Amino acid sequence: MKYRVLIVAEAEADLREIIQQLRVESPVTVVKLQQELMAISRQLEEFPYAYQASAEPTVRRACLHSTRHTVYFRVRGRVVEVAAVLPQRIDPSLTRERLGRTIVG
């Protein structure tokens, strides 16, 4: 049985910002990022629990190696909610604050 992957508005905004910046700095990386996102999305549809749990107990994460960002998501029933796509080197308190706004228990 497949899971449905839902990207919340803030995560979509994160991705738009990342892609916009990459188009200027490294257009080739945009293609790599898109391929990596598609692979992660397919994996989330089948095996969302294969990804590492984060510091937040109900949140899991997938690393984007092409851009050094992390995709944060929560599994609710058969839905995978992608809540944020944040830099890997961000202050952990900012990550917790952001996840608290986008993932409501």
Among 104, 40, 36, 49, residue whose Cα is nearest residue 75: 49
What CATH number is given to the structural domain containing 70? 3.30.2310.20
Low pLDDT (below 50) residues in the chain: 104-105
Tokens 């900012």 locate to 94
Domain extent at residue 32: 4-102
pLDDT at 96 (0 to 100):
80
CA–CA gap between residue 53 and residue 17 (Å, rounded): 25
Residues pairing with 8 in the sheet: none
Tokens (6 digits) for 3? 């899971």
pLDDT at 104 (0 to 100):
42
Number of domains in the chain: 1
pLDDT at 98 (0 to 100):
81
